[in-house]
A and B are shown apart, each in its own frame.
Chain A
């Protein structure tokens, strides 16, 4: 009963603030936007041309897509003569054939791109394009070209190419500075689902069509973007910040002279009182998240047909992320009795954790490139890896939660999309370790806060 009383009291306090209503209106607005978003599958020709025009198709990773370092390619790709080979209710379900023309912007540019993709990258990612005499050395076979194109179409466009062969070519001449062009005949196999097919996106139930150049993407990517970026990234950030601001007042307000006396005169231990107040703040954020994410999950599922259980897990992820920050806020609230100090200290530590998390992700990505690791160690930079690991080990894992939730939400993506999003470059963190380390941090913060609160005269 005491816990419920304090919880209810915390809710009253939160609802009394104007910030809460601002958050509620914002959440409602997002839910309305998500709920009114329509997705329309584009025709096959538009879809295939769109695939080869997007930036992902022109981004090359060495080591057959496994290197962490991206490089651009400037070939021009053109799709023509698209034909449906089978019948299906959705274009994504049909087998197709089309002609692909690759035009180089410089002699042997396409050879160079394919060779780079197939090779191991060195630390600076140099393309080994020219020999010592200045002669272009890149030469790839037709089989290597088709292997590359199959991979790019799979990674960037979810296309399952069952047959591809080079049918014509204008060979390049480096001395004459003549660029080459290559023609391929391609056959694809249809998929049962539509999530990997490109869709146009419109808002307000089709009233406002978003520019295809910016927003035309696969259904799964749209859903992933909404879940991971809009809610998991920006939305969660705003919600947690607002949560931090609202709840930062809970403890200092409770500790005001004339208020704390009343509470301490009640039959409840001080530690229990503080922990209940802390849980009250968490419950507020949990309920707010549950309403916002739960309703968005519902409307998103209804509109897109993609029901992602991982998105619902975000309710707990957001709450746990907030729990880490709120433990900091609680400690500073007890120490200073100032909500402003509690907010500033929390945001500052949050920012530091964010920067350290980014640094750790960067270092982790580098660690996946053996050549990079070897070269850095040879140059005396090996301590970067050790320091990064130690700092990551002792601090709460806010960045791990971002990584883990991104990986979890990425389950809606196709395999190729997951590869193109380079989730494999994210650090190899586990839920158990991340939650455990963060729990320890929360326990230390709350332990210190409780210790201080229990011994202070009011």
Chain B
């Protein structure tokens, strides 16, 4: 049974459609990444699932229960984007406060809070007021509070925002450890390299609709484009390949051969071997997640760089579009 499940989820903010029939499924133990531009509906989707936003249509389930029900929230961890923790708290007292709201017993709180703050590198500062913390430290506190009660699902909205590279790596490692423990992580991030490194599956949200979804491997694979490398001093018979319908281009260290419908790379390999050439490198070429994202978003609506025009009328977008 999916841990998170939405079917044709629709959410309108008055006349603005923030989610237009979003359907996703997240399985237990997955790290699921949600990508999209600002205003695409990523945060709205999380808020619907957690009951922070109401008045939606369709189906949304969290841990088998209808989204938004208070009972299920004790099994959830959440770090919102642009969080503002009350700065009269210390790191310790903030976690203690949230844990009490989550129903964590005093004994567990006393044990888990220092452990968690130690895990995010704040042990030495846990009794300092939050107003003395840097942005990165506040982010770490946020991550700690999302994990401290051992939730089954954690929603992280831009968790590494403001964190330095070493801190980011530590946070990635924490997420991987949680995944190993069977915790499901729902991640919103603009850092595509990071998402690519840790997510099992991703969905790309564009103007409230899922336009691509799949595993990282599936999405980044470029079907029909192979890289071929031969032994040193051997030349690729480009003309002969062209005669049988293959176009080969030398890019960087390798030849790139594109396949059209019905063609197989086996024909190329057979020809090369038949000529006594040694194939030392043969891989189906992948693209980065960033390349995929740019391509997908652009394909869904060309001209994505004209953000002011595209985003006009979306939640959080300027009220007047600027046209050049």
Cross-chain contact B101 with A263 (CB below 8 angstroms): yes
Per-residue interface assignment for chain B, residues 69 to 88, with 1 indicating a CB less than 8 Å from any chain A CB and 0 otherwise: 01111101010111111101
Taking the complex as formed, is A259 at the interface, i.e. its CB lies under 8 A from any CB of chain B? yes
Q: Is the CB of A257 within 8 A of B82?
A: yes
B205 to chain A, nearest CB (A): 18
Task: Assess A267 versus B88: contact at CB under 8 Å? Given A2-B100, A9-B97, A457-B55.
Answer: no
B103 interface residue, CB < 8 Å from A? yes
Of the stretches B27-35, B44-52, B261-269, the one at the interface is: B44-52
A261 to B102, CA, bound (A): 14
- Chain B residue at minimum C-beta to C-beta distance from A2: B101
Minimum CB distance partner of A8 in chain B: B97
| B71 lies within 8 A of A256 (CB) | no
List residues of chain A with CB within 8 A of the CB of B98: 262, 266
- In the complex, the answer to whether B52 meets A264 with C-beta atoms within 8 Å is yes
A13→B86 contact, CB < 8 A: yes
B52 partner residues in chain A, CB cutoff 8 A = 260-261, 264-265, 457-458
- Tell me which of B84, B100, B101 has the highest count of chain A C-beta atoms within 10 A of its own C-beta: B101
Whose C-beta in chain B lies nearest to the C-beta of A276? B101
A268 interface contact, C-beta 8 A: yes
B13 interface residue per 8 A CB criterion: yes
Please give the distance in Å from A102's CB to the nearest CB on chain B.
67
Q: Shortest beta-carbon distance, A197 to chain B, in Å?
A: 51
Give the distance in Å from the alpha carbon of A265 to the alpha carbon of B46 in the complex.
10
User: Is residue A253 within 8 Å, beta carbon to beta carbon, of the partner chain?
Assistant: yes
- Chain A residues with CB under 8 Å of B73's CB are 265-267
Residues of A within 8 A of B145 (CB): 262
Scoring A13, A257, A258, A265 by chain B CB atoms within 10 A of each residue's CB, the highest score goes to A265
Per-residue interface assignment for chain B, residues 166 to 199, with 1 indicating a CB less than 8 Å from any chain A CB and 0 otherwise: 0000000000000000000000000000000000
Q: Smallest CB–CB gap between A73 and chain B, Å?
A: 61
B53 touches which one: A2, A5, A458 (CB < 8 A)?
A458
A4–B74 alpha-carbon span in the complex (Å):
18
CB distance from B130 to the nearest CB of A (A): 11
Please report the C-alpha to C-alpha distance between residue A258 and residue B88 in the assembled complex, in whole angstroms.
Answer: 15
With the chains together, A257 CA to B98 CA distance in Å? 17
Cβ-based interface call for B54 (8 A): yes
Q: Please, how many angstroms separate the alpha-carbon atoms of A15 and B71 in the complex?
A: 32
Secondary structure type dominating chain A contacts: helix
Query: Which residues of chain B come closer than 8 Å to A264, judged between CB atoms?
Result: 50-52
* Interface pair A253/B101, CB less than 8 Å apart: no
In the assembled complex, the Cα of A6 lies from the Cα of B155 at a distance in Å of 24
Does A455 interact with chain B (Cβ within 8 Å)? yes
Interface presence of B286 (CB below 8 A): no
- Asked whether A266 lies within 8 Å of B53 as measured between CB atoms, the reply is no
Q: Count A-B contacts at CB 8 Å.
A: 86
Nearest-CB distance from B54 to chain A (Å)? Answer: 6
Q: Is B296 an interface residue (CB 8 A)?
A: no
Query: In this assembly, does A1 line the interface, its C-beta being within 8 Å of a C-beta of chain B?
Result: yes
Name the residue on B nearest A458 (C-beta).
B52
Q: How far apart are the CA atoms of A2 and B13 in the complex, in Å?
A: 31
- Minimum Cβ distance to chain A for residue B75 (Å): 9
Cβ of B220 within 8 Å of any chain A Cβ, yes or no, is no
Would you call A452 an interface residue if the criterion is a C-beta within 8 Å of the partner chain's C-beta atoms? no
The reply to whether A457 and B88 contact each other, CB–CB distance below 8 Å, is no
Q: In the complex, which residues of chain A have a beta carbon less than 8 angstroms from the beta carbon of B310?
A: none
Contact among B47, B55, B100, B101 with A261 in the assembled complex (CB-CB below 8 Å): B47
Contact A4 B100 (CB under 8 A): yes
| B86 in contact with A253 (CB, 8 Å) | yes
CB distance from A254 to the nearest CB of B (A): 8
Q: Which residues from A are CB-within-8-Å of B74?
A: 266-267
Residue from B13, B54, B72, B82 within 8 A of A455 (CB atoms) = B54
Complex CA–CA separation, A66 to B284 (angstroms):
106
Is B54 a contact of A262 with CB atoms below 8 Å?
A: no
The residue on A at minimum CB distance from B99 is: A5
Contacts of A13 in B (CB 8 A): 86, 88
Does A269 sit within 8 A of B, measured CB to CB? Answer: yes
The verdict on B285 contacting chain A, using a C-beta distance below 8 Å, is: no
Given A9-B97, A455-B54, are A267 and B82 also a contact pair (CB < 8 Å)? no
Query: CB within 8 A of B103: which of A259, A267, A269?
Result: A267
Q: Which residue of A lies closest to B105 (CB)?
A: A1
B86 & A259 in contact (Cβ 8 Å cutoff): yes
**Residue on B nearest A265 in the bound complex, by CB:** B78
Contact partner, B84, options A4, A12, A258, Cβ 8 Å: A258
Taking a contact as CB atoms closer than 8 A, the residue among A1, A265, A455 that contacts B100 in the complex is A1
Give the complex CA separation of A458 and B73 in angstroms: 16
A279–chain B nearest beta-carbon distance, Å? 15
Cβ of A261: which chain B residues have Cβ within 8 Å of it? 47, 52, 78, 80, 83
Question: Which A residues lie within 8 Å of B82 (CB)?
Answer: 257-258
Residues of A within 8 A of B97 (CB): 5, 8-9
| A269 with B70: CB separation less than 8 A | yes
Closest-CB distance, A294 to chain B (whole angstroms) = 26
Q: Which residues from A are CB-within-8-Å of B51?
A: 264-265
B47 touches A266 (CB 8 A): no
Is B125's beta carbon under 8 Å from chain A?
Answer: no
| C-alpha gap A31/B98 in the complex (Å) | 38
Task: Kindly report which residue of chain A lies nearest to residue B72, judged by CB atoms.
Answer: A267
Query: Which 7 A-B residue pairs are closest in the complex by CB-CB distance?
Result: A5-B100, A16-B88, A258-B84, A261-B80, A265-B78, A266-B101, A267-B73
Q: List residues of chain A with CB under 8 Å of any chain B CB.
A: 1-2, 4-6, 8-9, 12-13, 15-16, 253, 256-269, 455, 457-458
Q: Can you report 27 residue pairs joining A to B where beta carbons are below 8 Å apart?
A: A1-B100, A2-B100, A5-B97, A6-B101, A9-B97, A12-B88, A12-B89, A15-B88, A16-B88, A253-B86, A258-B81, A258-B84, A261-B47, A261-B52, A262-B85, A262-B145, A265-B78, A266-B73, A266-B74, A267-B72, A267-B101, A267-B102, A455-B54, A455-B55, A457-B54, A458-B47, A458-B52
Extra contacts besides A9-B86, A12-B88, A258-B83 (17): CB < 8 Å: A1-B103, A2-B101, A6-B101, A13-B86, A258-B80, A262-B80, A262-B98, A262-B145, A265-B50, A265-B73, A266-B73, A266-B98, A267-B102, A268-B70, A269-B70, A455-B55, A457-B13
